[in-house]
Amino acid sequence: MHEERLLIREKRYKIILKCLQAYIGHLVIVIKANTPGDDKHTREARFLVRLFTNVLKQEMTVIHEETLTSHQEGPCLLLVTPSWDATTIKQALVMIEDTHPLGRLIDLDVYQPDGTPLARTSLGYAERSCFLCEQPAHICVREQRHDMKDLVTFIHDKVHDDMQSRMTRLIDEVIMLELDLEHKFGLVERQTSGAHHDMNHALMIKAKDAIIPHLVNAFLIGLERGDPEGLLERARSLGIAAEQAMLTATAGVNCYKGLIFVLGLVLLATGVVIHRQEDMSMSFSHIKTMTKDILHEFDDHAETTSGIEAFEQYGIRGVRGEVHDGLPSVTKALSLLEPDTQLDDVMLRKLLQVLIVESEDTVLLKRAGSLREYQLIKDEIAALDMSDLTMVKHYTRSAVQRGLSFGGSADLLVATLFIHRFKLMMG
């Protein structure tokens, strides 16, 4: 095992030198999880490398990157950055290691143009301390002062708590972005129930708070499994629990059943993406894999719902078709967003507009009363200028009077915002 690790490290150093030769005068930053144990290719290590890679990319220019992975050494990423000043870069890396909540669990090394690493101690910084005590880490390692199980448990708990906290905040944030948006065609707002007379802003918040822990667990299940095959079936009980928690919190009012399904799938897929160290764009493919058999529900159904009726009468597949195809309407909406796009009310309405026009919504079809009226409503939405607040307010009043519901598109908006914000956070 020791010899294998030495060979892996030697191979990594050769790749570092190759990068430095290809990019003369530049620096190579090595990002590696600081995790003990024989198997270092853990979900915690993958999360850490992904997180800190994105942190660094937001702070500096990256012109090339290399991904290295082994079970003996774990995931590792090399970033080539223009050579400003190696000392300044190392100082910035040490600051991240010492101040970030998870900084103790990551190693950020910098290699100078001549191939030599710049150690933190050479700049006057203290050696890194042990996870479990204040002693220098290398002494505890050499003398084996701590049980390996205690070290592994410490890292697992610290990363798990951070992931849970991050995902909770992010899910809460994107749901509230949709909920607090005003003048959105009859959906529930802070000051009005819109066309949803059994709901209000306070009730939606109760529902949100009830379902978020279950949605976070969907992400953790995807992260743990790392395989979209059969994942939806494994997570089905989680969706049922989320729905029951919502109904308990709202005294039986269905505020977010559709969101539990759509965002739950997105979170499962996101966990798989992190497990596999993939680009977030792969989440759509994983959703397709998870729902490849979902259209069979149109043939094998015990009761006739509005969704079944819409399919049998008009061939409209609704949210089942949307997820089966990998959320194409969400992909279309995301094309409007850049990393620096301001998510103001106008942009949020534009996203909602795209989702209403591009997706199939069986609830809207039911409220429209006919396929002709359903398509007419979509055409009306498509013609709106979202920057014209007078026009938007007028159509919103009309939608409320007509009892229209765009709840399905609101769910897709939350999913769109989650994917956008997650990419900003994790890359």
Q: Where are the domains of the chain?
A: 2-117, 164-426
The CATH architecture one would assign to domain 2-117 is 2-Layer Sandwich (3.30)
* CATH 2.40.160 correct for 164-426: no
Kindly state the DSSP code that residue 387 receives in the 8-state scheme.
Answer: T
- Record the tokens describing residue 306, joined without a space: 């509005």
Task: Please name the residue that has the structure tokens 């007419």.
Answer: 376
Q: What is the pLDDT of residue 132?
A: 87
Cβ proximity of 9 and 70 under 8 Å = no
DSSP 319-368: HHHHHHTT-HHHHHHHTT--TT----HHHHHHHHHHHHHHS--HHHHHHH
Q: What is the pLDDT of residue 302?
A: 61
Q: What is the pLDDT of residue 382?
A: 98
A 10 A CB-CB count for 7 gives 12
Please give the chain's pLDDT, 427 residues, in tens. 577 878 888 999 999 999 999 999 999 999 999 988 777 888 889 899 999 999 999 989 999 999 887 767 888 999 999 977 899 999 999 999 999 999 999 999 999 999 999 999 999 998 888 888 888 888 888 888 898 899 889 999 999 999 999 999 999 999 999 999 999 999 999 999 999 999 999 999 999 999 999 999 999 999 889 999 999 999 999 999 999 999 999 999 999 999 999 999 999 999 999 888 899 999 999 999 999 999 988 877 667 677 788 888 888 898 999 999 999 999 999 999 999 999 999 999 999 999 999 999 988 998 899 999 999 999 999 999 999 999 999 999 999 999 998 999 999 999 999 999 999 999 7
280 closest CA partner among 67, 170, 423? 423
Distance CA 49, CA 33 (A): 6
Q: Number of C-alpha atoms within 13 angstroms, CB side, residue 313?
A: 15
Cβ proximity of 266 and 415 under 8 Å = yes
Q: What is the pLDDT of residue 297?
A: 84
Q: What is the pLDDT of residue 65?
A: 93
Kindly state the DSSP code that residue 136 receives in the 8-state scheme.
Answer: B
Q: What is the pLDDT of residue 1?
A: 58
CB within 8 Å of 343: residues ≥ 6 apart: 177, 417
